[in-house]
């Protein structure tokens, strides 16, 4: 049993990293008011470009960097379409996923059989010997550690720095932010591009550390789960950490639930009645639907239980900002203070 | 030198831009995709001639295109109708799968005389698709929960449900392949001509239904009203709740038809790997044809041509058929770019010598 739990935890931690990286990027982008449904495409582009770079140069860090850069490049298209051309964010995102999937399948065919030496596992001395948890948490690749380290970084950035608060302000009330002197267009561009970099990193982690190979469509819907995760986490980075492990656990359980005896013994009361239900509920394929259903449930719960304006969804999400002809620029002195004013005015 | 971009909202859109946009976007997408072809050392001329000329001039190509167009047109309508009301149905794929599953179950387990079985299969498929679409529609209409997210998430639920059912309770036939039993003759859609099955009639009929619904009925008027100005529509006494639910239910019905048409007309059985992606292409189709049901029909046939041409290109030249996905993406890309130029007029103003007045500048130029 201990072996099973340790293995399960290990798989959970591995599965969570991809979601964490992509989810954190999506939080930044959505906090600035831009939904990015192109995560899946950006991840695939990051995965393939990182993989090719690693095959050619032999350096997985360089591959990781290239993956991030190309994720950013794809996000730049999204930013241009949604922010400058004020296009529909959904359409632009779906388009980028199509583009990323299509182009990586098209160009990636010849790289399928290549093999690389990807990120090695690094064990943290002493801690790795902890029972059960040790192997899962402290024998991981550098990118796994990086993802966890980025959670507090993104949290600090969003809620404790000027730039972060300005990001949030353009996602909540762009007109007000503009009036206060925040460059709405610049902030949104930055947030979308940084978010794309995270998606590219998630993809590169997938091909360079997680599976250490390239297969077309290898993200297998993880980009969409990351989008769902952000809603699940109510747009808060620290909850991304929790949500990523939860969704990762479901992912890990899915692959291992066959080895678990989850049904009642034949003699137990109600066994004949409950066992088919239990079998259905714990069926791996049915369990694969839980992250999606949980996200819908969280969304519905949050909206139904509280008034919808209290939901953490950035108020200006999905809305392009059109600067009106006359925007009075007021001087409130300290810009840090003005951003706080914007936030308090909500 | 001082370059300035003047961007102003257009009062009205010039006619050439309205009719030229779809053509230009497709041509631009093909032109840019040729870069990807060159990257693989394939001549774009050869590739596109296989893709379009050979497909359109061979009987095989024409019938295949027609067969592919059936589900594409139907799912296109499933996205088009909610779009008229200002809603996005990103989940037509899931509604198609659910419809296919329900129709398949009826086809395998119900016996009815003559064409009654096929009618029952289509009805069951339509109802299942409509149900799958009704959930996000209700969440949107009642609680204002974003339908884009819910339709998308439910698609993944539908795909997993399909894997569960086809690999589990619904599995059948010889061997242990993840598929259902083969349909009997009575549950197979008869052929119209060649390989084209009678689902074509259903698709054409639904285009007509959607056309009449949108242009000739009170409901259609309400849908368009809600889509163009929800606030004003509410003020005018139109129930947004009713409109939102109805467009999604009818859209889901269309997608369900698409699912069973493809299964009972082409596949002959439900295989677990049935994930055609028509519901995602449908978004592009509805976007291209959003001005009317007949344009959805045209766009559906065009993308069918693209998909069929893409796979012949793969066979003939060894170029991955994924190119069609790239082309689809680029069509959207250029379409939404063109959308910007429809809404805003952009003019470039160049002041060669800032600081001097226009009068002196013309003087110095002369």
Q: What is the pLDDT of residues B267-304, one digit of tens each?
A: 989 998 888 889 888 988 998 888 889 999 999 999 99
CB-CB neighbors (< 8 A) of A102 in chain B = 322-329
CB-CB neighbors (< 8 A) of B160 in chain A = 285-286, 288-289
For residues B253 and B131, give the distance between their C-alpha atoms in angstroms, rounded to a whole number: 8
Kindly give the pairing relationship between strand B2-9 and strand B344-351.
antiparallel
Contacts of B45 (CB under 8 A, 6+ apart): none
Across the interface, whether the CB atoms of B325 and A102 are under 8 A apart is answered: yes
Is 50 exceeded by the pLDDT of residue A250?
yes
Residue A38 confidence (pLDDT):
93
Which residues in chain B (276-315) have CB-CB distances under 8 A to chain A? 280, 283, 287
For residues A42 and A96, give the distance between their C-alpha atoms in angstroms, rounded to a whole number: 8
- Best probe of the A interface among B83, B135, B156, B344, by most A CBs < 10 A, is B156
Which residues in chain B (159-198) have CB-CB distances under 8 A to chain A? 160-161, 163-164, 167-168
Q: How confident is the model at residue A336 (pLDDT cuts 50, 70, 90)?
A: very low
For residues B356 and A170, give the distance between their C-alpha atoms in angstroms, rounded to a whole number: 38
Return the bridge partners of B6, or none.
B347
Task: Locate the chain B residue with the closest alpha carbon to A37.
Answer: B149
- Rounded to 5 degrees, φ, ψ at A257 are -65, -20
Residue B246 confidence (pLDDT):
96
B154 in A contact zone (CB under 8 Å): yes
CB-CB neighbors (< 8 A) of A227 in chain B = 149, 152
Angle ∠(B164,B168,B173) on CA atoms, nearest 5 = 125
Q: How confident is the model at residue B17 (pLDDT cuts 50, 70, 90)?
A: confident
For residues A226 and A313, give the distance between their C-alpha atoms in angstroms, rounded to a whole number: 16
Q: Which of A104-113, A115-124, B302-311 has the lowest mean pLDDT?
A: A115-124
Q: How confident is the model at residue A87 (pLDDT cuts 50, 70, 90)?
A: confident
Mean pLDDT of A252-272: 67
Say how many CB pairs under 8 Å bridge A and B: 124
Q: How confident is the model at residue B186 (pLDDT cuts 50, 70, 90)?
A: confident
Across the interface, whether the CB atoms of B329 and A231 are under 8 A apart is answered: no
Which residues in chain B (129-148) have CB-CB distances under 8 A to chain A? 139, 143-146, 148
Query: The tokens 């002196």 sit on which residue?
Result: B360
Residue spans of the domains in chain A: they are 2-336
For residues A239 and A226, give the distance between their C-alpha atoms in angstroms, rounded to a whole number: 13
Q: If you average pLDDT over every residue of chain A, what do you get?
A: 83
Greatest mean pLDDT among A179-188, A287-296, B141-150: A179-188
Mean pLDDT of A18-38: 95
Q: Which of A107-111, B175-179, B232-236 has the lowest mean pLDDT?
A: B175-179
Residue B352 confidence (pLDDT):
62
Residue A258 confidence (pLDDT):
59
What is the per-residue pLDDT across B157-172, written as a single tens digit (0 to 9) for each?
999 999 999 988 888 8
* Residue count of chain B: 366
What is the per-residue pLDDT across B70-85, written as a single tens digit (0 to 9) for each?
999 999 999 999 999 9
In this complex, the residue of B88, B150, B167 whose CB is nearest that of residue A296 is B150
- Best probe of the A interface among B87, B132, B153, by most A CBs < 10 A, is B153
Residue B3 confidence (pLDDT):
65
pTM (two decimals): 0.83
For residues A159 and A148, give the distance between their C-alpha atoms in angstroms, rounded to a whole number: 18
Answer for the pair A301, A234: CB distance below 8 angstroms, yes or no: no
Q: How far is B93 from chain A (nearest CA, A)?
A: 14
In this complex, the residue of A86, A105, A283 whose CB is nearest that of residue B322 is A105
B12 in A contact zone (CB under 8 Å): no
* Residue count of chain A: 346
Residue A329 confidence (pLDDT):
42
CB-CB neighbors (< 8 A) of B283 in chain A = 91, 94
Answer for the pair A285, A258: CB distance below 8 angstroms, yes or no: no
Task: Locate the chain A residue with the closest alpha carbon to B142.
Answer: A304
Please say whether the dihedral angle defined by the alpha carbons of residues B22, A320, A74 and B282, taken in this order, is positive or negative: negative
The two three-digit tokens of residue B40, written as one number = 């693989």
B28 in A contact zone (CB under 8 Å): no
For residues B366 and B357, give the distance between their C-alpha atoms in angstroms, rounded to a whole number: 15
Residue A339 confidence (pLDDT):
45
Q: Which of A18-32, A286-300, B156-170, B306-320 has the lowest mean pLDDT?
A: A286-300
Mean pLDDT of A37-66: 95
Residue A324 confidence (pLDDT):
63
For residues B155 and B257, give the distance between their C-alpha atoms in angstroms, rounded to a whole number: 16
Return the bridge partners of B351, or none.
B2
Across the interface, whether the CB atoms of B160 and A288 are under 8 A apart is answered: yes
Q: How confident is the model at residue A275 (pLDDT cuts 50, 70, 90)?
A: confident
In this complex, the residue of A85, A286, A292 whose CB is nearest that of residue B340 is A85
Is 80 exceeded by the pLDDT of residue A6?
no
Mean pLDDT of A30-41: 93
In this complex, the residue of B88, B160, B340 whose CB is nearest that of residue A285 is B160
Cβ atoms within 10 Å, residue B337? 16
Q: Which of A330-334, B238-242, B329-333, B356-360 has the lowest mean pLDDT?
A: A330-334
Please, where are the H alpha helices in chain B? 15-39, 44-48, 55-57, 59-84, 92-109, 116-143, 147-167, 199-216, 218-228, 230-235, 240-262, 278-288, 293-317, 323-343, 358-365
Q: How confident is the model at residue B248 (pLDDT cuts 50, 70, 90)?
A: very high
- Rounded to 5 degrees, φ, ψ at B223 are -60, -50
Residue-wise over A149-160: b if at least 16 C-beta within 10 A, else e?
ebbeebbebbee
Across the interface, whether the CB atoms of A288 and B90 are under 8 A apart is answered: no
B40 in A contact zone (CB under 8 Å): yes
Task: Locate the chain B residue with the closest alpha carbon to A284.
Answer: B164
Q: How many CA atoms lie within 13 A of B269 on its CB side?
A: 17
Contacts of A161 (CB under 8 A, 6+ apart): none
Give the Å distances, CA to CA, from A187 to A290, B72, B144.
35, 39, 28
The two three-digit tokens of residue B353, written as one number = 């010598």
Mean pLDDT of B101-112: 92
The DSSP-derived string for A36-93 is: -TTHHHHHHHHHHHHHHHHHHH--HHHHHHHHHHHHHHHHHHHHIIIIIS---HHHHH
Query: The tokens 């849908």 sit on which residue?
Result: B223
Contacts of A195 (CB under 8 A, 6+ apart): A25, A26, A27, A28, A29, A30, A34, A36, A75
Residue B314 confidence (pLDDT):
87
What is the per-residue pLDDT across A118-157, written as a single tens digit (0 to 9) for each?
888 887 777 777 776 767 777 788 899 999 999 999 999 9
CATH topology of domain A2-336: ABC transporter involved in vitamin B12 uptake, BtuC (1.10.3470)
Write the secondary structure of B313-363 as one string of H (helix), E (strand) and C (coil).
HHHHHCCCCCHHHHHHHHHHHHHHHHHHHHHEEEEEEEECCCCCCHHHHHH
The two three-digit tokens of residue A315, written as one number = 């108020």
Q: How confident is the model at residue A306 (pLDDT cuts 50, 70, 90)?
A: low
Is 70 exceeded by the pLDDT of residue B110?
yes
Residue A120 confidence (pLDDT):
86
For residues A224 and A147, give the distance between their C-alpha atoms in angstroms, rounded to a whole number: 18
Of A195, A196, A190, A217, which Cα lies nearest the Cα of A206?
Answer: A217
Higher-confidence residue of A85 and B291: namely A85
Cβ atoms within 10 Å, residue A186? 12
Across the interface, whether the CB atoms of A102 and B322 are under 8 A apart is answered: yes
Task: Say which DSSP state B265 is in.
Answer: I
Residue A327 confidence (pLDDT):
43
Could you give the ipTM of this predicted complex? 0.81
């Amino acid at each position: 049993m201990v072996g099973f739990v340790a293995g399960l935890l290990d798989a959970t931690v591995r599965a969570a990293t991809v979601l964490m990286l992509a989810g954190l990027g999506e939080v930044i982008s959505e906090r600035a008011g831009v939904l990015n449904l192109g995560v899946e495409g950006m991840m695939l582009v990051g995965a393939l470009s990182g993989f090719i770079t690693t095959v050619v140069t032999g350096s997985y860090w360089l591959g990781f960097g290239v993956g991030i850069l190309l994720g950013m490049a794809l996000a730049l298209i999204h930013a241009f379409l949604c922010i400058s051309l004020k296009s529909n964010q959904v359409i632009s995102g779906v388009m980028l996923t199509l583009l990323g999937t299509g182009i990586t399948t098209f160009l990636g065919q010849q790289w399928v059989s290549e093999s690389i030496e990807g990120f090695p596992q690094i064990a943290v001395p002493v801690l790795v010997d902890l029972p059960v948890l040790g192997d899962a948490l402290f024998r991981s690749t550098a990118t796994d550690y990086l993802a966890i380290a980025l959670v507090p970084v993104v949290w600090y950035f969003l809620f404790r720095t000027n730039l972060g608060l300005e990001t949030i302000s353009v996602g909540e009330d762009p007109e007000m932010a503009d009036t206060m002197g925040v460059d709405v267009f610049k902030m949104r561009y930055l947030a979308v591009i940084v978010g794309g970099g995270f998606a590219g990193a998630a993809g590169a982690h997938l091909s360079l550390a997680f599976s250490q190979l390239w297969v077309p469509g290898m993200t297998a819907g993880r980009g969409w789960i990351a989008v769902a995760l952000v809603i699940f986490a109510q747009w808060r980075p620290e909850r991304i950490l929790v949500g990523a492990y939860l969704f990762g656990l479901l992912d890990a359980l899915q692959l291992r639930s066959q080895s678990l005896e989850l049904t009642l013994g034949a003699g137990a009361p109600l066994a004949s009645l409950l066992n088919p239900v239990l079998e259905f509920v714990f069926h791996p394929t049915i369990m694969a639907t839980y992250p999606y259903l949980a996200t819908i449930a969280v969304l519905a719960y949050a909206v139904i239980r509280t008034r919808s304006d209290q939901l953490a969804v950035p108020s200006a999400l999905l809305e392009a900002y059109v600067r009106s002809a006359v925007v009075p620029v007021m001087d409130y002195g300290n810009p840090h203070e003005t951003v706080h004013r914007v936030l308090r005015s909500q | 030198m001082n370059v300035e971009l003047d961007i102003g909202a257009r009062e009205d859109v010039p006619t050439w831009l309205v009719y030229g946009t779809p053509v230009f976007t497709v041509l631009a997408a093909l032109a840019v995709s040729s870069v990807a072809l060159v990257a693989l050392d394939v001549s774009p001329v050869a590739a596109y001639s296989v893709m379009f000329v050979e497909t359109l001039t061979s009987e095989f190509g024409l019938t295949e295109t027609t067969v592919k167009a059936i589900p594409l047109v139907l799912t296109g309508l499933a996205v088009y109708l909610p779009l008229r009301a200002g809603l996005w149905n990103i989940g037509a794929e899931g509604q198609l799968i659910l419809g296919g599953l329900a129709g398949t179950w009826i086809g395998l387990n119900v016996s009815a005389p003559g064409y009654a079985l096929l009618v029952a299969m289509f009805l069951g498929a339509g109802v299942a698709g409509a149900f799958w679409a009704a959930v996000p529609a209700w969440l949107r209409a009642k609680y204002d929960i974003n339908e884009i997210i819910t339709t998308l998430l439910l698609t993944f639920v539908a795909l997993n449900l399909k894997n569960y059912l086809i690999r589990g309770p619904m599995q059948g036939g010889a061997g242990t392949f993840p598929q259902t039993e083969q349909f009997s003759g009575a549950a197979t859609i008869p052929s119209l001509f060649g390989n084209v099955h009678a689902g074509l009639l259903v698709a054409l009929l639904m285009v007509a239904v959607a056309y009449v619904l949108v242009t000739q009925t009170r409901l259609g008027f309400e849908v368009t009203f809600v889509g163009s100005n929800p606030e004003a529509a509410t003020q005018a006494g139109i129930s947004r709740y009713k409109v939102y639910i109805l467009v999604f239910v009818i859209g889901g019905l269309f997608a369900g038809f698409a699912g069973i048409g493809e299964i009972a007309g082409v596949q002959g059985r439900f295989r677990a790997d049935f994930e055609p992606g028509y519901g995602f292409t449908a978004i592009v189709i509805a976007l291209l044809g959003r001005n009317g049901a007949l344009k959805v029909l045209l766009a559906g046939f065009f993308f069918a041509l693209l998909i069929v041409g893409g796979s012949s290109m793969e066979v003939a030249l060894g170029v991955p058929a994924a190119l069609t996905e790239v082309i689809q993406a680029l069509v959207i890309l250029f379409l939404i770019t063109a959308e910007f130029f429809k809404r805003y007029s952009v003019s470039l103003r160049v002041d060669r010598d800032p600081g001097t007045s226009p009068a002196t500048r013309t003087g110095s130029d002369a």
